[in-house]
Amino acid sequence: MEARDIHTPVMLERCLDLLGPALQHEGALFVDATLGMGGHSEALLERFPHARLIGLDRDLDALRIAGERLSRFGDRVTLVHTVYDGIADAVATTGATKADAILFDLGVSSLQLDEADRGFAYAKDAPLDMRMDQSGGTTAADILATYGEGDLRRIFERYGEEKLAGRYARAIIEARRTEPIERSGRLVDILQDATPAALKAAGHPAKRVFQALRVEVNAELAALERAIPAALGLLPVGGRIVVLSYQSLEDRLVKRELAAASASTAPAGLPVELPEHAPRLKLLVRGAELASDEERAVNPRATPVRLRAAERLREDA
């Protein structure tokens, strides 16, 4: 099946509208920091024929699929195997120093969710891998086998915002004494058994634990904390950034970074705002935008999305 048949880019037209004003000139550079299967990038290259693309992804399968999909654009496309916090180095390797438009479409890609043997989906029994880059690194099974109860509780609380974190951590420690926890089906059973009957109707007990394991395996929040400031540093005046987040931890981090850069740093009581205190960014949307009801009905993966966007107003002092 073609990539475009199994992957529907989230809030595609809105992303193109927001990024478009920065891509009107000859040689404009667009960085897709989370290329995935290339849906957003393909549409952008079609819409803006003068634009060039640098596409980043840590998933080698995604880079291969996107490379095939985007091959018709020839030398307008450069693909780089890296995590998104490597954005500045990736841009520099092409000889560029600035990026006119940058997109982050965070979270798990359709490719990763739909390939059962990657272990991302709690609804499918599979090896507990969860690595976005399968060329190396720690798997979710490794974490479940080696982390102590306190560390498991910490990641479930911090990255999954799970109220039963302690209970689930204890259940995992107890279960692994008899047999390693290597498949998603067994982990789901352990979590189901550890969930009080009164809470089982409040949502699937594995959802937040699987999210927490995925974030830990891929160090997603730590990478994002480095990636957003690095991306903002690449934008020229008039350059634009759009970020699509799918869970509250990501969105809060993005909100904090954009809010700080869009606020004046002038000391209270200063009669005149000096240029070096003026905001560096202008927010392009009020709060976080949601996908439309129509899009969510057609593409359920758009349901949790939160979109934030900003434009560069001035260079750093």
Full set of structural domains in the chain with CATH: 3-111+220-312 (3.40.50.150), 115-218 (1.10.150.170)
pLDDT at residue 192 tops 70: yes
> Using one digit for the tens of pLDDT, what is the confidence trace for 196-245?
988 877 778 788 999 999 999 999 999 999 999 999 999 999 999 999 99
38 is in an annotated binding site: yes
Res 276: pLDDT: 64
pLDDT at residue 1 tops 50: no
pLDDT (mean) for 131-149:
93
Ranges 11-20, 77-86, 113-122: which has the least confidence: 113-122
pLDDT (mean) for 122-148:
91
pLDDT (mean) for 135-162:
95
Confidence of residue 282 (pLDDT cuts 50, 70, 90): very high
Res 182: pLDDT: 95
40 is in an annotated binding site: yes
Look up residue 249 and give its two tokens: 């931890």
pLDDT (mean) for 161-176:
96
What is the 3-state secondary structure of the chain? Answer: CCHHHHCCCCCHHHHHHHHHHHCCCCCCEEEECCCCCCHHHHHHHHHCCCCEEEEEECCHHHHHHHHHHHHHHHHHEEEEECCHHHHHHHHHHCCCCCCCEEEEECCCCHHHHHCHHHCCCCCCCCECCCCCCCCCCCCHHHHHHHCCHHHHHHHHHHHHCCCCHHHHHHHHHHHHCCCCCCEHHHHHHHHHHHCCHHHHHHCCCHHHHHHHHHHHHHCHHHHHHHHHHHHHHHCCCCCEEEEEECCHHHHHHHHHHHHHHCCCCCCCCCCCCCHHHCCCEEECCCCCECCCHHHHHHCHHHCCCEEEEEEECCCCC
What residues have CB less than 8 Å from 119, skipping those under 6 apart?
Answer: 126, 127, 128, 129, 130, 139, 140, 184
d(CA 25, CA 189): 55
74 is in an annotated binding site: no
Q: What average pLDDT does the chain have? A: 91
151 is in an annotated binding site: no
Answer whether 38's CB lies under 8 Å from 265's CB.
no
pLDDT at residue 156 tops 70: yes
Q: Which CA distances in Å does 254 have to 249, 298, 299? A: 9, 27, 24
Res 135: pLDDT: 82
- Asked whether the whole model's pTM tops 0.85, one would answer yes
Answer whether 153's CB lies under 8 Å from 215's CB.
no
39 is in an annotated binding site: yes
36 is in an annotated binding site: no
pLDDT (mean) for 165-182:
96
105 is in an annotated binding site: yes
d(CA 99, CA 101): 6
pLDDT at residue 178 tops 60: yes
pLDDT (mean) for 262-277:
68
> Using one digit for the tens of pLDDT, what is the confidence trace for 12-55?
999 999 999 999 999 999 999 999 999 999 999 999 999 999 99
Residue among 21, 8, 9 nearest 309 (CA): 21
Answer whether 96's CB lies under 8 Å from 104's CB.
no
Confidence of residue 81 (pLDDT cuts 50, 70, 90): very high
> Using one digit for the tens of pLDDT, what is the confidence trace for 246-255?
999 999 999 9
